[in-house]
Amino acid sequence: MLDRFKHVNDTLGHTVGDALLRETASRLKVSLRETDVLARLGGDEFAIVQDRENNQHAAASALADRVIEIVSRPFDIEGNEVNIATSVGIALGPEHTTNSESLMKMADLALYRAKAAGRNGYRFFDPEMSMAASARHELENELRRAIQQDELELRYQPIVDTKSLLICGAEALIRWRHPTKGVILPD
């Protein structure tokens, strides 16, 4: 995924953004072997499939480093110098899975971990990412249900002036009274 691509579209226009995507694809294609496959998934997302590597982890790291370096070089698009970066998510088959749809999902989870780590880098899929994503999804669903079931309670915590010991305000807090987990604090 290209970092800061939306900024390019917003500031220089979609024509420049489209040209940037074409130039990025050209740069990526030149850096690949004949046996590798490059695809644009949509928007500013590309996928690369590497095949037949003895050491998949090392080969994927080397490719990710190459992609990051290639994309971070300035682009000259219609007289505009455009500087972007990229975040890369990596999933390995058959190590992580042999199912192509699952492999893409795993690469996507790794991609978002790379973006969360500050962009312009790469991350390998780790099974912990799936567990964390599943837990977050479950929590979101439970929270939606909590709103519907009126399980959220409003509490006021007084703010006290330490010199006069008088209440000078209050902080409004929400507490979630979960039917099986008890009171769930915000943290």
Contact 153, 175 (CB under 8 A): yes
For 118-173, how does the pLDDT look when each residue is reduced to its tens digit (9 = 90+)? 888 999 998 887 777 777 888 899 999 999 999 999 999 999 999 999 999 999 99
Residues 91 and 154 occupy one common structural domain: no
The Cα–Cα gap between 51 and 54 comes to: 9
Residue 157 burial (CB count, 10 A): 10
Domain annotation covers residue 99 = yes
Residue 58 covered by a domain: yes
Any idea how long the chain is?
Answer: 187
Number of neighbours of residue 82 by Cβ within 10 angstroms: 21
Does residue 59 share a domain with residue 15?
yes
Task: Assign residue 47 the CATH number of its domain.
Answer: 3.30.70.270
Residues 121 and 157 in one domain: no
**Single-letter amino acid, residue 170:** A
Reading the block at residue 45, the tokens are 């997302």
Query: Are 104 and 49 within one domain?
Result: yes
Is position 18 within any domain? Answer: yes
Q: Are residues 106 and 22 in the same domain?
A: yes
Give how many domains the chain has, as a whole number: 2
Residues 84 and 175 in one domain: no
- Domain assignment present for residue 50? The answer is yes
pLDDT, one tens digit per residue, over 59-86 is 999 999 999 999 999 999 999 999 999 9
Neighbouring C-alpha atoms within 13 Å toward the C-beta of 37 = 6
44 is catalytic: yes
Q: Are residues 25 and 72 in the same domain?
A: yes
Based on the domain organization, do 55 and 102 belong to the same domain? yes
Write down the pLDDT at residue 7. Answer: 93
pTM of the model: 0.70
Q: Of these residues, 18, 44, 51, 161, which one is catalytic?
A: 44
Decide if 50 contacts 66 (C-beta within 8 A): no
What stretch of H or E contains 157?
strand 152-160
For the cut 90, the answer to whether the pLDDT of residue 53 exceeds it is no
Same domain, 98 and 175: no
- Domain co-membership, 100 together with 24: yes
Contact 169, 159 (CB under 8 A): yes
What residue numbers bound the domain in which 157 lies? 150-184
Give dist(CA 171, CA 178) in Å, integer. Answer: 22
61 neighbors 84 (Cβ within 8 angstroms): no
- Together in a domain, 9 and 83: yes
Are 172 and 120 within one domain? no
Which pLDDT band, with edges at 50, 70 and 90, does 1 fall under? confident
Query: Would you state the pLDDT for residue 137?
Result: 85
